Amino acid sequence: MQTKRKAAVRSVELTEEKSRNGKFEAILRAAAQVFAQSGYFNAKVADVARAAGVADGTVYLYFKSKDDLLTSIFNWAMGQFLERVRAELTGLSDAKEKLRRFANMHFALLEEERDIAIVFQIELRHSTKFMEQFSTTHLASYLQMLREIIEEGQRSGSFRTQLNAKFAAKFLFGALDEMATNWVLSHRQHSLTELAEPVLDLFFHGVNANHA
C-alpha cells in the first residue's frame, strides 16, 4: 500500500511540475470531459487533443498512452480526494462525525465535478485489469481509511465490536458507490450530497424496527 500511495502522490506532484504551462492538467481535464461524454472506447485521442487545444502528438509528451490518460484521471482525482479528506478529518475525534464528513466529501466531489464523476462511476469499470489495479491501490487506501474510522468507533464504544471492520467498510463503500452511480445515471434529477445523511443513518441503525 505504501508503494501505491507514493504513485498517487507522485501524480499530484507531476501536476504541479508540469502545470507551469498548464498543459498536463488541461489535457487531463479535456480527457475527463471527452471520456465522460463519449465513453472511453469511443473517445479518440485526437478528440482529447482538440478539446485541450494541443496537437495529437503533444498528448504523448505528457501521457504514455490513452490508457494512461484514464488511469491518470483516476490517480489525480483520487489523490486529491484522499489528501483533502485526511486534512479535513484530522481535527475530528468522533467516529460518526468522521464518517459523515467523509461521505459528504465523497459525494460533494462527484457533484462538483460531474465529468470526473462519470469517469469514476462508469468508464473506470470497464476491465478486470483496471478494476484489479484500482481495487489494490487507491480503493484500498479509501477502504483503509473507512476501516480505521470504524475501528476507532469500535474502540470508543460507538460501534459494535463483534463486527468485522473491513467488511463494514466495504459494505458502506458499496452503498455510497451505488448512490453515486445512480445519481450519475439519473441525470442530476436529485442532489447527491443530501443522500449522505440517509445513507449513514441506515449504516448506523439498519432497517430493524426496534432501533433508531
Partner DNA sequence: CATGAATGAGCTTTCATTCAT
Partner DNA sequence: TATGAATGAAAGCTCATTCAT
CB atoms within 10 A of CB 62: 19
Minimal distance in Å, beta carbon 73 to DNA?
14
164 binds, among a copy of itself, DNA, none (CB under 5 to 8 A by kind): a copy of itself
Draw the binding track, 125-164, toward a copy of itself (x: CB under 8 A; -: no contact): xxxxx-xx--x--------------x--x---xxxxxxxx
Q: C-alpha grid cell for residue 1?
A: 500500500
CB atoms within 10 A of CB 10: 13
Q: C-alpha grid cell for residue 112?
A: 462538483
Minimal distance in Å, beta carbon 116 to DNA?
20
The answer to whether 88 and 80 are in contact (CB under 8 A) is no
Q: Give the number of residues written for the chain.
A: 212
210 binds, among a copy of itself, DNA, none (CB under 5 to 8 A by kind): a copy of itself
DSSP state of 137: T
Minimal distance in Å, beta carbon 127 to DNA?
14
- Which spans of this chain sit near a copy of itself (rule: CB under 8 A)? 39-41, 118, 122-123, 125-129, 131-132, 135, 150, 153, 157-164, 167-168, 170-171, 173-179, 181-182, 184-185, 195, 198-199, 202-212
